Amino acid sequence: MSCNRFNVNALSFALVLNMKSRRLWQCCLVFAEATRKPSTSKTTKKPMSEKQLKAFQEALKKSVIEKETSLSGDDSLPTDEKAVAQQMKEFDAAISSSSRQKIYIYCLIGRNLAKLKGGKKGKKFIEFVHGYLPAKQYSKSQIYFLMSLHELALEYNKLMYVSIGIGVLKSKFRIVKQLLGEDEQFWRG
């Protein structure tokens, strides 16, 4: 008999007995929770093989766009908080029309997010950001990732000009940091 069937049977048995004692009912629930099998739906990530790591490193290097990138509007950082937030909203709109400059624009959004973070903490900061950017697209983890991406791009300039997808960068961010550190001369150039 599996643990899950046992849990259902134990709870059914408790209901059949028409238990009125709240404490006994809570004990049954605690027992059922304790005997449940751990979830096996989560897959653990396998580390990249040396061959996969080299291939990813080469793909990352090849995706660098060498020509200077610029937006149609002003991309310098405003001093006013509202102007910074409004500019961030404009950058978000520019992402959909830009095919090759997305990481550059995401880095600018990360810069603006870092500027806005200043004195705000936790939920207040996230709520403020969601007033300007769609919450569905910019989760808390995405917001902090973009700030980290901008910080890393300040150190390794060519990172802003890669044409690899933001999802790939986010999912392999630790590996990207490692690869950038190993080949500083190329990425800082």
**pLDDT tier, 132 (very low <50, low <70, confident <90, very high otherwise):** confident
Question: Quick check: pTM over 0.85?
Answer: no
Q: What is the pLDDT of residues 65-85, one digit of tens each?
A: 877 666 666 778 888 888 888
Work out how many domains the chain is built from and give that number.
2
Range picked from 69-83, 120-134, 138-152 for highest mean pLDDT: 138-152
Is 15 in the same domain as 73?
no
Q: Tell me the residue range of the domain where 130 lies.
A: 50-188
Residue 64: strand pairing partners: 162
User: For position 43, what pLDDT does the model report?
Assistant: 52
Is residue 141 located within the same domain as residue 88? yes
pLDDT tens digits, 93-115: 888 877 678 999 999 999 999 99
